[in-house]
Chain A
Amino acid sequence: MARKRSLSTVQAALRILAYLAEHPEGVEVKEVARLLGKSLSTAYALLNSLAEEGFAVKTERGYRLGTTKPVPVESPRGPYLGEALEELYLRTRERCYLALLTPEGVRLKTRGRQGQPHPLGDTLPEEVHALALGKVLLAFGALPLPPLRPRTPYTLTDPLALEEELKRVRESGLAAEMEEYAPGLSALAAPLFGPRGELLGALGVVVPARRFPFAFSRLARALSEVAQVSPHLSPPEPPSLAPPPEPSLRVEAVEPPRTLREEANLQDYAEAYRASLEDPEAFFGPFAREFLWESPWKEVYDPENRRWFAGGRTNAALNALDRHLPQRAQQVALLTLDGEGRLEKWTYRELHDLSRRLAGVLQALGVQAGDRVALYLPTGVEAALSLLALARLGAVHVALPVGLGPEALRERLVQSKARLLIAADSYFRRGQAIPLRPVVEAAVHGLDLPILWHPRGTTEFLERASEGRSVEAVPVEAHHPLFLLYTSGSTGKPKGVVHGHGGYMVGVAWALRYLFDLKPGEVFHTTADLFWVVGHSFGLYAPLLLGGTSLLVEDRPDHPSPAAFYERLGRLGVDVLLTSPTVLRLLRRHGEARPTALRLVGSVGEALAPEVWRWAQENLAWPLDNWWQTELGAPALATPLALPAKPGFVGVPLPGVEARVVDAEGRVLPPGAKGHLVLLRTGPAHMVDLLGGESPWRGGLYWTGDLATWDEEGYFRILGRTDEVIKVGEARLGTAEVEAIALTHPQVAEAAAIGLPGEEGEEMAVFVVPKKEVPEELKPLLAEKLKGHLLRHLGPVPPPRIYFTESLPRTRSGKILRRLLKAELLGMDPGDTSGLEEGYGTGKAS
C-alpha cells in the first residue's frame, strides 16, 4: 500500500509516456491533467520533468514523445525515498526535505527552488527538537534526545512539554513546528516507514510565512499522502526524558540596584512604617507642613472618624501652583503631547496665570465653592487647567472619561448634579479625531446644563481662559471635596468616590516622593489618562504639588508604534514612568525594548505577573509594583526601593496603611493561605465620601474586594477580585494566579481566566492572546500545550478550556472585563459596558 502510493509519480509518468506515444501529433497539458485526474499544475510539473529528462519534447501544440525511451528501473530503497521527496516537492512546490537514516547516520536531502541553498546543509543541527523533521526522528526513537538548549524564544525547550509533543507526534503521525529555524517560517514533517514497519527516515515541507496559514491544510494533506503515514504502526518506546524544571513561579527576592537603593528618598521602610502607625503626627506632620495651610490642623489623624488633618484649611491648587512661585516660575510643570502630535511646555508661571484666570471665567459662569462641575475632556492642558481652576475655587471636579457613551454620560451628569459641563468637541485615538459633540448633545438633551466647549484644533478655550479675571485660591477645610470620580465599571454599577483637599494632597505627594522616588529636576510620566484616578493623582496633582514636571499624552502610549513610545521617553528624558501591566504586556509582546533614560517604572491597575515584572526589569527599569484603588487615592501596598522585590508579590503596606488577609468572617489567615484582602487603616489620601455605593468599611475593616495571600515577611500577593475567584474541584484559584501562569508560556501574550458554571463546581476557561497569530490548524496543538502547562503549575484540578482571541475586553483603565467574557460565553447580558475600552471587537473565541 505504501509502495503503491509513493510510486504514484512514476506510474503517472509511465501513463503520460504511453499517452504521448498514442498521440504523436502532440498532447495538451489539460488532456494530461484530465488523464491523470490531477490538477493542471501537477500535469505541468510532470510534463516538465519528463521534458527535462528528454522523455518528452515541448512543441507549439503541447508535448509529444521524446527521442529517448524510458528505462524502467527497479527502485532500491534510496531512490524510492528520493522519489518521495520529489513527489512531495512536485505536489507542494515548497521546499521539501528528507532525513534518511543510513548506517553512517542521518543524511539530509533537500528539494527546493533553484538558487536557494538550504540553511541546514546536509546534516541535522544539534537543535533537532526545534525542527519538525527532528521531532519525528525523536518521537520514533531514531535519535537520542540532545541536550536542550534554547534556540529562539519560540522553540519549545521545556522537557515535559516536549515529551507531550512527541507523544502527540507518535499518535498523529505528523509533527508541526511553528517558527522553524527562522521566525516566520513553519514546517510539517511525517515519518517514512519501510514495508516491515521500520523507520526509514522523515519527510518534511516548509510553510513559508507568505503562504501562512492558507497553505497549511493543503501541505499537511500532501505530506500525509506522500509519506503514507499509518498511525497504527506501533512505534518503539519513547526515549526517557529529564525531570521537569521547577515551576517558574517560585518566588525569589530581587534586590534593587545598589545606587537606586542608596539614593532612595525612603531609606528605612521598617522605621517609617512603625512611626507612621505609632505617631501619625510626628510622621506625616513635618511632610504636610511643607505645604501652605491657612490654618493648621488640630490632629493629623483622627482614627475614630478616619479623618486626616481635621481642622486644617488649605487648597490643593494653591499648593500645586502658587506655592512654587516665584522660585519655579520658569520651570516646566507640564509637557503636553496632544493627539495631533503637538508638544507643548507649560511653566508654573503659565499654569498659575491661566488657571487663576480660568477660575475667574468659571466664577463668572456662577461656579462657587462646593459646586460640582463635570469635565468631558481628553488628557491635555485644557483638562489640567480646568481641574486646577475648579480646585482653586473650592468647586468639585467630576472628570468623566471621554468615549463614554451618551447614556452613561447622562447618568453620571444627572447623578453628580453637575451645574456645568466642560467638554471637548473631539478627542484623538490612534491618530483619528473622534467627535464628542454628538455624544454630549445627546447626553444633555433636556437637561438644564450649560456647556463650556473646548473646540479642538483652536486656541479658543485658552484665549477665553486668559480673558478671565484672576481669582485667588479659596482656602477650604481639609476634607472639603476636591473631586468626584466614578470608578471604572469592572464590577457593575459605577460608584462616586469623593476625595478631599488636605489628606489627598499629602497622601499623593508623599507617595510620589517616597514610593516613586521622584527627585527634583526629574520628569515623571504616567500613561494613565487624566480622567482616571491615576491621572488625577500622578498625572497632575502629585507632580505639581512637589514642584516636578509631568508629561501628559493624549493618545495611546503605543501610538503610532511601540518604538515611538520609547523614542518619546528618551527624547523627553522621562525618568520615572507609572503605567499598567496592560501597557507593559503590550510592550513585551512587541519584543525588544529600546534604550531610554528611565530610572523606575511603576505598575498599577492589576496584578503584575512575574514574567512581565522580569521583562520590565530587564528591558525598561526597576519595576515598582503597587496596589491601590480609586477609593484609596494613592498606593496602599507596594515594594519601596528600600526593600527587595518579590516578583508576583505586590509588596508590603505603605506607611499609614495596615493590611491583613482574612476569611469571609474577618478572621486573620496565616501566611500562605488565600483570603480576602482587608485594610485596618488607610493612608491620608483615603476618600472622604462615597456616593451611590455600599461602604467598603464593614466591622472596622476596609474590604478591598480582592483575593490575596501573604508570606511570612509580610509581602502581599494579589490573586484577583474576590468575585473573580474560580472554584474548580477542591481548589479556589484567583484569576490573576491562573493568568500569571499562562503568561509564563512563551507563546502567550495576554491571558484572562474566568470560571464557568460546570457540573461539579466551576469549570475554568482561559482566554489567550497568542504572541503571534496562530494558524487555525495549530490551535488545538497550542491549546493542548497550554493545558499541560497550566496543570503542571496549578496542581490536580480539572483541565481548563482554552480559547484563543485577538484581544481581551478591558476597561479603559486597563482592567480585564472578565464579566464580559463570561457573558459572551454563556450568552448573557454583559451589563454596563460603558467603561469598556473602544477597539475591542468581541474577541473571536475558538
Chain B
Amino acid sequence: MALEKLLKEEERLWAPEGLRRQANLQDFAGEYRRSLEDPEGFWGEWARRFYWEKPFERVLEWNLPEHRWFLGGTTNAVYNALERNVERGLRNKVALIYLAEDGREEKLTYGELLDRVRRLATGLRRLGVEKGDRVVIYMPLTLEGVLSMLATAYLGAIHSVVYAGLGVAALRERILDAGAKLLIAGDVSYRRGKGVDLRSIVEEAIRDLPLKVVWFQRAFRTELPEGHYDFQEILWGSAPEARAEMVDAEHPLFILYTSGSTGKPKGVVHVHGGYMVGTTYHLRTFFDVKDDDVYWATSDIGWIVGHSYIVYAPLLEGVTSVLREGAPDYPDPGAFWQAVERHRVNVMFTAPTAVRLFMKFGPEWPKRYDLSSLRLVAVAGEPLNPEALRWAYTHLMEEGQRGFVADNWWQTELGGPTLGTPLTLPAKPGFAGVALPGVEAAVVDEDGKPVPPGQGGLLVLKRPFPHMMRTVWGNHERYLQYWREVPGGVYAAGDVASRDEEGYFSVLGRADDVLNVAGHRIGTADVESALVSHPAVAEAAVIGVPDPLKGEAIKAFVVLRLGESPSEELKEGLIAHVRRELGPIATPSEVVFLDKLPKTRSGKILRRLLKAQELGKDPGDLSTLEE
C-alpha cells in the first residue's frame, strides 16, 4: 500500500516540450513570487490592459476580511469585452459559437454581439432596469442566455443566473433573495433531442410575485399576459442605443447562488473590476489561451465556470468561445470530439464527471476524430481521480505528445482557478496542483495550525485576490463566517486537502454537509428540506455515496409520517418531488425508508453514521449519539 502510494506520487505527467516552450507564462515560480511580494504592482499591471474611464488610484485595500480592489477606478466589464475589442479591430471576429445537439450552429461576431447587447440593454432599460437592479436569468445555454447576462451588466444592473435545471423552489428562493426586478426566462431547453419544459417551472416559481418576465420562446410563441414580454421583440424592437454604464470597480457585476450546509443558498457577489482582471489573468496564464484560439468551456452559464470561462474572460480577451447546449454523449459519444474537430478547438475546459463519461465509452470515440488542434484540456469541479487524468492524458493527448491535461480547483466564491497545474509544471495524478499566482494556500487543522506535508486538514487561503467574492448578497454576516471559521484570519474553503513537499495540493472532498454531484455543489439540507416538504415525510437525511460517473450520488433516508407506509410508488413519488423542487441534478438516486434517524442528543442528524454504515467503515466517535 505504502509502496503503491509512493509510486503514484512519483508519477509525473509532462506537457510536450514544444507546448511548454510556447506557454504564455514561462517563469511560473518567478511570477508566483512576484504576485505575493508585490500584489499591487502585479495586479495593477494586468488591470491596466483594460479600459478604465477613471483610472484607479489604489490597487488594493485589505482590512481583514474586507478587501477592495482598484479603488477609485470606474469601468464596465462588458464595455471592456465588447467596445474595447471592436475598436481593437475584432469587429468581424467570431466571439461566440453556439452549437446544438443536432449539429446546428450559430456564430456571433464581436460586432454583432455589441449591436445585440446594445439593443437588448435598450429594451431592458425601457422595462425599467437600472443600475444596481437585479435581473434573474433562467435561460438555457444559448446565445440569448449570454446576451441576457451581458446586456444586464452593460447597464450596471446585476445579473443572477439560475441554472435552468434547478426546480421551482430553488428558483423562487433565488428570485426572492436577490429581490429581482425582472426575470429573463426560456420556455424550453434541449437535451438528448428532446425539449425540457422550463415554462411551467417558471410559472409556478413566480406565482404571485410582482415580477416582469421576458420570455425567450423557442417552442411556442404564445400570447403573453401583461408584464410579460417576448425576448425577440424586446431585442429587435429596440435600437442599439444604450451605452455602457461606467461603474465603480467595486460595483457588483453578478450574484451567483451556491449551496451551503445551512440550507439557504448563498448569493456570492462578484464585482466589475477585480473579477474582470483576475479571470482574464488566469485565462492567459493558466489556460494558456492565445489570441487566435478557439476555446471551449463545456460548462453552463448557470455555474461559475460558465460565467468566468464561457462568457467573461474569453470575451474580455477577444478570443472565440464555444458553447454547446445539450448532453455530451448525444447524439453519440463522439459528439464532443466531432465539435472539437469541426471548430478546431485549441483549449477545452471540462469536468471530471465528463472525463469519466468519456472513459466509460472508451478511447475509440475520440480516435475517430481529428483532435490535432487540441492543446490543453483543463478539468475542474471536483477531484479528478488519477485514472481519469491518466485516461485523458493518454487518449485525448496522445500520451502527452499532443498536449496537456491541467487539473485545477476553485469555487464559486473564488471566481477563477486557485490551485492548479500550469502546463510548465508536471501533473501529478491525484493532485489538483500548486497555488496559482496571487494565491497563498495552506492546509491547517481546526485551530488554524499548519499540518505537516502529506497529512489531511482544512484548505485555507491566507489572502484575497481580485476575483474573490466581496460579500454574500443580503447577508454580509455569512461572508464574514468564511473568514472566521478557522482561526488566523484565513478564508476557509470548506474542503479537506493535503499538501506534499513540492507544494502540490490534493483536494479530498468537502469538510461540511455539502455534496458534490457531477461537479455541482448540493447542500444536504436543501435535499432534506425538499423531502420533508412532501406530505408523507416526517424526517429525512441525505448522504453522498461514491458514484463511478458523477463522483457522488445522493442517497436519502426517510422517516414517514404516521399512517404512511413505504412503497415503490412512494419512493418514485419522492424522487419526482425533489426533482420538481430542486431540479434534476439534486435528484436522489436512492431512497431508503427508516423508522428513525440516528441523531445526536442535541437533535442533529448524524449523517456521518449513516455514511459509515453505507460504506462499511468505522463510524468513529459516536459518543453524542442519541440512545
Contact = CB atoms under 8 A, between A and B. Distances in A.
Interface stretch (B90-98, B260-268, B477-485): B90-98
A329 B320 CA distance: 10
A573 B112 contact: yes
Given A345-B109, A573-B111, A521 B94 contact: no
B89 interface: yes
A521 B294 contact: no
Contact of B90 (A345, A353, A521, A523): A521
A332 B92 contact: yes
B311 to A, nearest CB: 17
A345 B107 contact: yes
A349 B345 CA distance: 12
Contacts of A349: 344
Contact of A520 (B89, B107, B320): B89
A453 B471 CA distance: 62
A330 B89 contact: no
B86 A521 contact: yes
A299 B6 CA distance: 71
A326 interface: yes
A523 B92 CA distance: 8
A523 B91 CA distance: 9
Contacts, number: 44
Contact of B93 (A326, A330, A523, A548): A330
Interface string A538-553: 0000000000110000
Interface residues of B, number: 18
A332 B93 contact: yes
Contact of A521 (B89, B112, B115, B344): B89
Select the residue from A330, A353, A520 with max chain B CB neighbours within 10 A. Answer: A330
Contacts of B92: 331-332, 521-523, 548-549
A345 B115 contact: no
A520 B89 CA distance: 6
Nearest to B88: A521
Contacts of B112: 573
Select the residue from B92, B107, B115, B292 with max chain A CB neighbours within 10 A. Answer: B92
Contacts of A327: 291-292
A347 B94 contact: yes
Contacts of A330: 93-94, 292, 294, 319-320
A523 B110 CA distance: 13
Contact of B94 (A331, A520, A523, A548): A331
A326 B89 contact: no
A89 B344 CA distance: 78
A573 B93 contact: no
Interface string A316-354: 000000000011111110000000000001010100010
A689 B107 CA distance: 42
Interface residues of A, number: 18
A512 B294 CA distance: 30
Contacts of B109: 332, 345
Nearest to A575: B91
B280 to A, nearest CB: 18
A597 to B, nearest CB: 9
A326 B115 CA distance: 26
Select the residue from A347, A349, A523, A573 with max chain B CB neighbours within 10 A. Answer: A347
Interface in A589-627: none
Contacts of B86: 521
Given A345-B109, A573-B111, A329 B90 contact: no
Contact of B115 (A347, A353, A549, A573): A573
A326 B94 CA distance: 14
Nearest to B91: A521
Interface in B67-107: 86, 89-94, 107
Interface string B111-133: 11001000000000000000000
Classify the secondary structure of A's interface with B: loop
Given A521-B86, A521-B89, A523-B92, A326 B107 contact: no
B94 A332 contact: yes
A326 B90 contact: no
Interface string B343-357: 010000000000000
Interface string B280-300: 000000000001101000000
A310 B192 CA distance: 60
B371 to A, nearest CB: 15
B321 to A, nearest CB: 10
Given A573-B112, A573-B115, A332 B107 contact: yes
A520 B112 CA distance: 16
A345 B143 CA distance: 15
Contacts of B344: 349, 353
Nearest to A345: B107
Interface in A334-383: 345, 347, 349, 353
A548 B344 CA distance: 21
A221 to B, nearest CB: 52
A330 B320 CA distance: 7
A345 B94 contact: yes
A332 B91 CA distance: 9
Contacts of A521: 86, 89-92, 111
B550 to A, nearest CB: 34
A685 to B, nearest CB: 25
A10 to B, nearest CB: 61
Contacts of A523: 92
A484 to B, nearest CB: 31
A204 B173 CA distance: 75
B204 to A, nearest CB: 37
Contacts of A549: 92
Contacts of A329: 292
A158 B271 CA distance: 67
A620 B182 CA distance: 39
A523 B107 CA distance: 16
A373 B298 CA distance: 44
Contacts of B319: 330
A522 B90 CA distance: 10
Nearest to B108: A345
A782 to B, nearest CB: 41
B292 A326 contact: yes
A534 B90 CA distance: 27
A734 B605 CA distance: 100
A519 to B, nearest CB: 9
B115 A331 contact: no
Interface in B212-259: none
B352 to A, nearest CB: 29
A339 B485 CA distance: 65
Contacts of B90: 331, 521
Contacts of A328: 93, 292
A347 B292 CA distance: 11
A330 B317 CA distance: 13
B236 to A, nearest CB: 9
B107 to A, nearest CB: 4
A330 B319 CA distance: 8
Select the residue from B94, B294, B344 with max chain A CB neighbours within 10 A. Answer: B94
A328 B92 CA distance: 10
B487 to A, nearest CB: 50
Nearest to B109: A332
A835 B590 CA distance: 74
Select the residue from B86, B91, B291, B320 with max chain A CB neighbours within 10 A. Answer: B91
Interface of A: 326-332, 345, 347, 349, 353, 520-523, 548-549, 573
19 contacts: A326-B292, A327-B292, A328-B292, A329-B292, A330-B93, A330-B94, A330-B292, A330-B320, A331-B90, A331-B93, A332-B93, A332-B109, A345-B94, A347-B94, A521-B89, A521-B90, A548-B92, A573-B111, A573-B115
The 8 closest A-B pairs by CB, nearest first: A521-B91, A549-B92, A330-B320, A329-B292, A326-B292, A345-B107, A331-B93, A332-B92
Given A328-B292, A521-B90, A573-B91, 13 more contacts: A326-B292, A329-B292, A331-B93, A331-B94, A332-B93, A345-B94, A345-B109, A347-B94, A349-B344, A521-B92, A548-B92, A573-B111, A573-B115
